[in-house]
A = this chain, B = another copy of it.
Amino acid sequence: MPEIIVYAAEGRSAEQKKSLMKDLTDAMVKNFGVPAEVVTVQIVEAPKANKAKGGIPFSER
């Protein structure tokens, strides 16, 4: 612990996701004073038809 869950629409590269998870982990280490090894991050990606903002699916925005 702590655990970080990111909810996002699909469409980012593996490189973007890897770098994001590294930076989120670093932010946790810096601010909460925990060792990196106890921090887990999971990105929960949704097809654009499964995510909406303002009631409109990202597949149509």
Chain A residues within 8 Å of B, Cβ to Cβ: 1-9, 12, 14, 16-28, 30-32, 36-37, 39-46, 49-60
Contact = CB atoms under 8 A, between A and B. Distances in A.
Interface of A is mostly: mixed
Nearest to A45: B50
Name the 3 nearest CB pairs between A and B, nearest first: A25-B55, A23-B27, A21-B52
Contact of A27 (B27, B32, B46): B27
A32 B17 CA distance: 8
A4 to B, nearest CB: 5
B1 A40 contact: yes
Contacts of A40: 1, 3, 7, 40, 51-53
